[in-house]
C-alpha cells in the first residue's frame, strides 16, 4: 500500500495541500450569507388596526404578513441587528416603531414598506413601549448606565425630536424606572397610560406618571411553598385599575391598583387564579378588558373571563409552548407566538385564521437529523416540531409541510422523555423516506425505524413499515442505496451490526402490498460500526468499524477489502462521484483526510486536516470539507482525484459546523471563474453551532438578487392589488420604456415584463382576482407582440394610425366596448408616439360623448 511507502512523499503531498490553501484564501468572490429561517417568535407580533396585517420581527428584519392569506406582503429591511421591539405608532395607525440592538428606533410605513425616520440612540435597546397619552415619546429599555456588561436594565422615556430628515439623533432621554427586566412582556402600560407596571424577579414596580412616584412591592422569595412565585409577565387592564401578573408556579394574580392605596404597604389586594401547571409565559387583556388570555408550556390558550375567573375557556393543542400573546386593537383576532417558530392567528370565535410557520429549529435549538434535500420539492428536510419532520422551502423561506413521524399525542410537560426523530434519509428518487425515532428513559432504549412511501395521490409520505427495535443499540448511521433499480436501506447500530433492509413483496399477492424486511446482517470483529455509504453505482457498500473501513459487495454480501489508517477512528466516509467514482474518502479523528483508490486498493493521497464534516455534492465530483482550526471553521472544496482544493475559505464561521448539505439549484449558474465554479450546479448550506442556517453565495448571484429586489421595491411602492398588477403595470411599463431610452442597461429587466405579470397573477390567490372573462382579455392582449418597437418610419406610422382609426370606427359601431386599458400594449412604445396616441384617445372619447349626446337630444326632441 502506498501509505506505507516513503514518508517523504506523503509529507510533500500534505504541504502541497496546505500551501494551496494559503494561496486561495484571498478570493472574495464567494461570501457566506445567512439565509432565511430566522426566529419569528422572538418578540410579540402585532396586528394592525384594521386586522389585515400582522407584523413580526424576524432577525434584523420586520416581516409583514397578511392575516387572511398567510402570505408575506413586505419585508422591512434596515436594522443591522436583532429587532427587539415593535409597536404601532399611537398617533398614526399606518406607521410602526421598531427598535433593535443596533441602537436605533425606526419609524416605518408598513403598507408601503417605507422607512420614514431613524432615531439614533446609540445604546442597545431591548424593548419598546408606546402609549397614546405620551405622544412624541417612546419608552425603551436600555442597559444601566450604558454599560452592556451589567445585568441590570432601566426603562427610559425617549423624546422623539420633531426635526425633519431621515436620520435624527435622539438624545433626550429621561429615566423612568431602574432595575427592570429586559424582557418585553415583563412591563406593561396601565389604563390610558396613567401608570406603567414592571416586574423583575419577585418585585413588582408601578410608576405613576401623574405624581411621578414609584411604588414597589417585593414578594418574599422564600415562600413556604418554595421560591417559585417569581414574576414572569405583566399585563394591565385597559379600562380598569388592574394588573395581572403571571408567575413561575403557574398562578395568575390580579392586583387592584389604586393610586391612593398602593403605597400603603398592607392595603394592596390581589386575587389568585391557578390553572397552568408550569410557568405562565404570556398574559394579555383583550382591548375591552372582558377577557384575560394566558398561555404557557402546556400550549393551551386559556381565556379567563374578567371579574368571573371561574369561567374560563380553553383552546387546546396549539402545537407548542406559547411564548407571546397579542390581540388585535379591535379584539377580533388573537395571535399566539409559539416556541416552534410559529405564529397562530385565531379569530375571537376560536377558529384558526392563519398559521405562519418559520423554520423550526427544534424545541431545544437542536437539529438531530442530517440536513436532507427532498428530490421532489427541493425542500430542506430536517427535525421540526417534536416528533415531526419539516419540509422547508429554501427558495421561498417558507415551511411547506410537517410530517408527523411519531404519531402520538405530545404531552407538553418539561422533564418527560419524549420520542425524538434522530435520523432520516430519503432515497434518490424521493419515493422512500426512512426515519428513526428513539426515546431513552433511564437505561431503556426504545427505537423504531419507520419507512414511508411517497403517495402520488395525496402528494405526501404514507407510513409503510414500522420496525420496532431494529438494533439493540442506537442507530449511528443510515443511508439509502443510490442505485435506482433496487431500493435498499442500510442501518448501522451501536450493537455492532449493520443491517440491510429490502423492500420485499409479501408471499401472498392479495396482501396489502410490499413491506420492508431485513435482508442481511453483517458485523466485523465485534467492532461498532459508525458510518455507512453506498458507491455511486450502488454496487459497493462501505461501512466503517472504528478504525477500519470495510467494503462489501451488494450482490453477494461478501467482504471485499478493508482499509485502515490508524490511529484514529473513522469520522466520515463518502464515495466519489461521476469521474471520481473510483475513490473513497474518509476522515479520521486524528486529523487525517484519506483518499483510497478502489481499483488498486491503496491509499491515493492523504492530508493532515482536521475535517469535522465531509459533504459530497450529488451533482458533481466536488466534495466539501469543513475543518476546525483554532476555533474557526475553514471550508475546502476539492475533487477526490487530486489533493488540491478548488476553493477554500478561512473562518467561515466561529464555533463548529454541525451539518451541511448541497441543495441543487433551480437554474444553473454559468460562472467560469475557478473559485466559484463549484457553486454552479448546487448551493452549499450549513448549520452552525448556534443552529443558524448559512449558505455560500457568489457575487454575481448577489448582484442579481439585489437587482431583482430593487425591481420589487419599485413594484411595491404602490399598493399591490390584482388590479394594480394588471392595469398599473402597463402604465408603469410606459414609464420604464422612457427609462430604457435614457438607460440601456435596464433593458433586460423590462423584457420579461409580460411574464412577471403572469407570475404575479398566478401567485395571487384566486378569490381576490377579478372575473376570468375580464382577465382573459387582459392576458391575451399582454401576449401580443408590440409592433411599435419595430416601426421607425414616420410614414408607416401614419398609415398605421389611419388603419387604427378605421378599426376604432368599426369598433364603435359594435357598441364601442373596447377599453382604453386594453389598448395599452400596442399603445406603449417610443415617447415620440405618445402625443398623437393621446390625442387619438381624446378624440375617441369625444366621439363617444358625441354619440351619447345625440341620443339624448333625439329623445328630448321626440318628447
Partner 1 sequence: MASYKPTRIQTFPQLGEKVTQDTLYWRNYKAPVQIKEFGAVTKVDFSPLSPYNYAVTASTRIQIYGPYSQEPVRSFTRFKDTAYSGTFRSDGQLLVAGSEEALIRLFDVSGRVALREYTGHNKAVHFTDFSADRFRILSGSDDYTCRLWDIATSTELGRYGEHTDYVRCGTPSRLNPDLFITGSYDHTVKVFDVRNERSVMTMDHGQPVESVLLFPSEGLLVSAGGRYVKVWDMLKGGQVLVSLKNHHKTVTCLCMSGAGQRLLSGSLDRHVKIYSTTTYKVVHNFNYAASILSIAVAPDEESIVVGMTNGVLSVKHKKHTQDQKPAGSGSKRRPAYRVFVKGKNYMPKQDDFLVRKQEKVNLQPYDKQLKSFQVSKALDSVLKPHVRLKMPEVTVAVIQELNRRGTLRNALAGRDEKGLSILLSFLIRNIVDSRFAPILVTVAEMVLDIYMKVVGQSAVVDKQILKLQELIEKEIDYQQELMEVLGMIDTLFATITTKKESASLQSQAVNGLAEVRGEQDQRVKAT
Find out whether 183 and 157 touch, Cβ atoms under 8 Å: no
Q: Which stretch binds partner 1 (CB under 8 A): 312-320, 589-597, 633-641, 748-756?
A: 312-320
Give dist(CA 97, CA 460) in Å, integer: 42
State the nearest-atom distance from the C-beta of 519 to partner 1, in Å.
8
Residues 6+ apart with CB under 8 A from 340: 41, 319, 320, 357, 360, 363, 384, 385
Helix (H, G, I), strand (E, B) or coil at 262: coil
Give dist(CA 246, CA 231) in Å, integer: 6
Helix (H, G, I), strand (E, B) or coil at 748: helix
Residue 405 has what DSSP assignment?
S
Q: Which stretch binds partner 1 (CB under 8 A): 60-68, 191-199, 317-325, 810-818?
A: 317-325
Find out whether 573 and 542 touch, Cβ atoms under 8 Å: yes
Residue 409 has what DSSP assignment?
P
State the nearest-atom distance from the C-beta of 550 to partner 1, in Å.
11
Residues 6+ apart with CB under 8 A from 680: 665, 668, 669, 670, 671
Distances (CA, A) of 154 to 101, 125, 142, 175: 15, 10, 5, 7
Q: Which stretch binds partner 1 (CB under 8 A): 14-22, 53-61, 408-416, 720-728?
A: 408-416
Question: Between 308 and 411, whose beta carbon lies closer to partner 1?
Answer: 411
Site for partner 1 in 57-96 (CB under 8 A): none
Q: Cell digits for 855?
A: 341620443
Binding characters for partner 1, 479-518, by CB under 8 A (x = yes): ------------------x---------xx-xx------x
State the nearest-atom distance from the C-beta of 507 to partner 1, in Å.
7
State the nearest-atom distance from the C-beta of 453 to partner 1, in Å.
18
Determine what percent of the chain falls in helix, strand and coil, rounding each to the nearest 5.
20, 40, 40
Residue 378 has what DSSP assignment?
-
CA angle 566, 568, 574 (to 5 degrees): 95
Give dist(CA 363, CA 379) in Å, integer: 21
Find out whether 387 and 418 touch, Cβ atoms under 8 Å: yes
* Total binding residues toward partner 1, as defined by CB under 8 A: 37
State the nearest-atom distance from the C-beta of 385 to partner 1, in Å.
10
Q: 135, 174, 227, 559: which one contacts partner 1 (CB under 8 A)?
A: 559
Question: Between 348 and 746, whose beta carbon lies closer to partner 1?
Answer: 348
Give dist(CA 37, CA 399) in Å, integer: 9
Helix (H, G, I), strand (E, B) or coil at 469: coil
Binding characters for partner 1, 694-713, by CB under 8 A (x = yes): --------------------
Question: Between 473 and 664, whose beta carbon lies closer to partner 1?
Answer: 473
Q: 33, 504, 521, 768: which one contacts partner 1 (CB under 8 A)?
A: 521
State the nearest-atom distance from the C-beta of 387 to partner 1, in Å.
10
State the nearest-atom distance from the C-beta of 510 to partner 1, in Å.
6
State the nearest-atom distance from the C-beta of 705 to partner 1, in Å.
36
State the nearest-atom distance from the C-beta of 420 to partner 1, in Å.
12
523 binds partner 1 (CB under 8 A): yes
Q: Which stretch binds partner 1 (CB under 8 A): 402-410, 476-484, 760-768, 781-789?
A: 402-410
Sign of the alpha-carbon dihedral angle for 498, 502, 507, 508: positive
Give dist(CA 720, CA 834) in Å, integer: 27
Binding characters for partner 1, 768-787, by CB under 8 A (x = yes): --------------------
State the nearest-atom distance from the C-beta of 404 to partner 1, in Å.
8
Distances (CA, A) of 839 to 805, 836, 843: 12, 5, 6
Binding characters for partner 1, 7-36, by CB under 8 A (x = yes): ------------------------------
Distances (CA, A) of 526 to 399, 491, 496, 546, 610: 43, 16, 6, 10, 27
Site for partner 1 in 429-468 (CB under 8 A): 439, 441, 444, 468
State the nearest-atom distance from the C-beta of 655 to partner 1, in Å.
34
Give dist(CA 128, CA 89) in Å, integer: 11
Question: Between 518 and 783, whose beta carbon lies closer to partner 1?
Answer: 518
Question: Between 313 and 811, whose beta carbon lies closer to partner 1?
Answer: 313
DSSP for 592-631 reads: EEEEEETTTTEEEEEE---EEEEEE-TTSS-EEEEEEETT
State the nearest-atom distance from the C-beta of 355 to partner 1, in Å.
9
Q: 23, 122, 305, 317: which one contacts partner 1 (CB under 8 A)?
A: 317
State the nearest-atom distance from the C-beta of 451 to partner 1, in Å.
15
Q: 23, 274, 417, 735: which one contacts partner 1 (CB under 8 A)?
A: 417
Question: Between 317 and 851, whose beta carbon lies closer to partner 1?
Answer: 317
Question: Between 128 and 488, whose beta carbon lies closer to partner 1?
Answer: 488
Find out whether 597 and 578 touch, Cβ atoms under 8 Å: no
Q: 49, 218, 227, 469: which one contacts partner 1 (CB under 8 A)?
A: 469
State the nearest-atom distance from the C-beta of 537 to partner 1, in Å.
22
- Give the CA-trace dihedral at 226, 232, 236, 241, to 10 degrees: 20
Which residues of the shown chain bind partner 1 in the complex (CB under 8 A)? 315-319, 344, 352, 407-409, 411, 413, 415-419, 439, 441, 444, 468-469, 472, 497, 507-508, 510-511, 518, 520-523, 556-559
Amino acid at each position: 500500500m502506498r501509505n506505507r511507502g516513503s514518508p517523504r512523499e506523503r509529507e510533500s503531498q500534505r504541504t502541497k495541500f496546505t500551501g494551496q490553501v494559503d494561496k486561495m484564501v484571498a478570493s472574495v468572490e464567494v461570501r457566506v450569507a445567512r439565509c432565511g429561517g430566522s426566529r419569528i417568535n422572538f418578540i410579540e407580533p402585532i396586528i394592525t388596526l384594521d386586522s389585515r396585517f400582522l407584523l413580526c420581527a424576524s432577525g434584523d428584519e420586520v416581516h409583514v404578513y397578511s392575516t387572511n392569506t398567510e402570505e408575506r406582503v413586505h419585508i422591512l429591511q434596515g436594522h443591522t441587528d436583532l429587532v427587539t421591539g415593535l409597536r404601532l405608532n399611537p398617533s398614526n395607525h399606518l406607521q410602526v416603531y421598531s427598535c433593535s440592538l443596533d441602537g436605533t428606533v425606526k419609524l416605518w410605513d408598513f403598507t408601503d414598506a417605507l422607512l420614514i425616520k431613524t432615531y439614533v440612540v446609540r445604546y442597545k435597546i431591548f424593548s419598546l413601549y408606546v402609549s397614546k397619552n405620551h405622544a412624541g415619546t417612546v419608552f425603551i429599555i436600555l442597559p444601566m448606565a450604558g454599560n452592556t456588561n451589567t445585568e441590570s436594565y432601566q426603562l427610559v422615556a425617549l423624546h422623539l425630536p420633531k426635526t425633519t430628515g431621515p436620520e435624527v439623533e435622539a438624545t433626550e432621554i429621561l429615566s423612568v424606572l431602574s432595575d427592570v427586566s429586559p424582557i418585553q412582556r415583563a412591563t406593561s402600560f396601565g389604563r390610558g397610560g396613567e401608570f406603567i407596571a414592571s416586574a423583575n424577579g419577585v418585585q413588582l414596580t408601578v410608576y405613576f406618571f401623574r405624581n411621578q412616584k414609584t411604588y414597589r412591592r417585593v414578594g418574599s422569595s422564600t415562600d413556604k411553598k418554595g421560591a417559585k412565585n417569581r414574576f414572569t409577565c405583566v399585563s394591565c387592564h385597559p379600562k380598569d385599575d388592574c394588573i395581572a401578573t403571571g408567575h413561575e408556579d403557574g398562578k395568575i394574580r390580579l392586583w387592584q391598583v389604586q393610586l391612593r392605596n398602593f403605597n400603603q404597604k398592607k392595603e394592596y389586594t390581589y386575587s389568585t387564579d391557578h390553572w397552568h401547571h408550569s410557568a405562565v409565559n404570556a398574559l394579555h387583556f383583550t382591548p375591552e378588558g372582558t377577557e384575560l388570555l394566558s398561555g404557557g408550556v402546556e400550549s393551551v390558550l386559556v381565556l379567563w373571563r374578567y371579574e368571573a375567573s371561574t369561567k374560563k375557556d380553553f383552546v387546546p393543542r396549539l402545537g407548542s409552548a406559547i411564548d407571546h400573546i397579542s390581540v388585535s386593537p379591535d379584539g377580533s383576532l388573537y395571535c399566539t407566538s409559539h416556541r416552534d417558530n410559529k405564529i397562530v392567528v385565531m379569530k375571537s370565535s376560536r377558529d384558526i385564521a392563519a398559521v405562519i410557520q418559520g423554520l423550526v429549529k427544534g424545541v431545544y435549538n437542536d437539529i438531530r437529523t442530517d440536513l436532507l434535500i427532498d428530490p421532489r420539492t427541493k425542500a430542506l428536510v430536517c427535525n421540526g416540531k417534536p416528533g415531526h419532520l419539516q419540509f422547508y422551502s429554501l427558495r421561498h423561506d417558507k415551511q411547506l409541510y410537517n410530517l408527523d413521524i411519531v404519531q402520538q399525542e405530545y404531552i407538553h410537560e418539561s422533564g418527560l422523555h419524549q420520542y425524538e426523530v434522530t435520523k432520516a434519509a430519503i432515497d434518490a428518487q424521493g419515493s422512500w423516506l426512512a426515519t428513526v425515532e428513539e426515546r431513552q428513559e433511564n437505561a431503556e432504549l426504545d427505537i423504531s425505524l419507520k419507512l414511508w412511501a411517497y403517495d402520488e395521490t395525496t402528494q405526501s409520505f404514507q407510513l409503510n413499515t414500522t420496525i420496532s427495535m431494529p438494533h439493540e443499540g442506537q442507530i449511528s448511521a443510515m443511508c439509502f442505496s443510490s442505485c435506482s433499480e433496487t431500493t435498499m436501506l442500510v442501518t448501522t447500530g451501536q450493537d455492532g451490526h449493520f443491517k440491510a433492509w429490502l423492500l420485499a413483496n409479501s408471499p401472498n399477492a392479495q396482501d396489502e402490498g410490499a413491506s420492508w424486511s431485513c435482508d442481511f446482517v453483517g458485523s466485523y470483529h465485534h467492532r461498532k460500526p459508525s458510518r455507512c455509504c453506498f458507491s455511486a453505482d450502488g454496487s459497493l457498500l462501505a461501512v466503517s468499524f472504528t478504525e477500519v473501513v470495510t467494503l462489501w459487495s451488494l450482490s453477494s454480501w461478501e467482504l471485499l477489502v478493508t482499509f485502515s489508517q490508524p490511529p484514529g477512528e473513522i469520522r466520515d466516509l463518502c464515495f466519489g462521484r461521476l469521474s471520481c467514482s473510483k475513490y473513497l474518502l474518509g476522515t479520521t479523528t486524528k486529523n487525517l483526510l484519506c483518499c483510497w483508490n478502489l481499483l488498486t486498493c491503496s491509499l491515493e493521497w492523504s492530508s493532515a486536516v482536521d475535517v469535522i464534516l465531509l459533504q459530497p455534492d450529488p451533482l458533481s465530483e466536488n466534495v466539501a470539507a469543513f475543518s476546525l482550526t483554532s476555533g474557526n471553521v475553514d471550508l475546502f472544496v476539492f475533487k477526490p482525484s487530486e489533493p488540491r482544493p478548488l476553493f477554500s475559505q478561512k473562518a467561515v464561521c466561529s464555533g463548529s459546523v454541525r451539518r451541511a448539505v448541497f441543495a441543487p439549484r433551480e437554474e444553473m449558474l454559468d460562472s467560469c471563474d475557478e473559485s466559484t465554479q463549484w457553486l454552479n450546479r448546487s448551493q452549499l448550506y450549513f448549520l452552525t453551532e448556534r443552529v443558524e442556517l448559512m449558505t455560500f453565495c457568489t457575487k454575481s448571484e448577489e448582484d442579481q438578487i439585489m437587482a431583482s429586489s430593487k425591481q420589487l421595491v419599485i413594484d411595491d411602492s404602490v399598493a399591490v392589488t390584482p388590479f394594480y398588477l394588471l392595469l398599473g403595470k402597463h402604465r408603469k411599463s410606459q414609464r420604464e420604456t422612457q427609462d430604457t431610452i435614457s438607460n440601456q442597461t435596464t433593458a433586460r429587466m423590462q423584457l420579461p415584463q409580460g411574464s412577471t405579470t403572469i407570475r404575479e397573477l398566478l401567485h395571487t390567490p384566486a378569490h381576490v382576482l377579478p372575473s376570468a372573462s375580464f382577465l382573459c382579455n387582459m392576458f391575451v392582449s399582454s401576449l401580443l407582440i408590440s409592433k411599435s418597437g419595430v416601426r421607425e418610419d414616420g410614414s408607416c406610422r401614419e398609415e398605421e394610425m389611419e388603419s387604427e382609426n378605421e378599426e376604432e370606427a368599426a369598433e364603435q359601431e359594435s357598441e364601442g366596448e373596447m377599453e382604453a386599458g386594453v389598448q395599452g400594449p400596442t399603445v406603449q412604445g417610443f415617447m415620440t408616439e405618445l402625443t398623437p396616441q393621446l390625442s387619438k384617445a381624446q378624440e375617441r372619447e369625444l366621439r363617444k360623448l358625441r354619440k351619447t349626446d345625440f341620443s339624448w337630444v333625439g329623445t328630448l326632441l321626440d318628447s
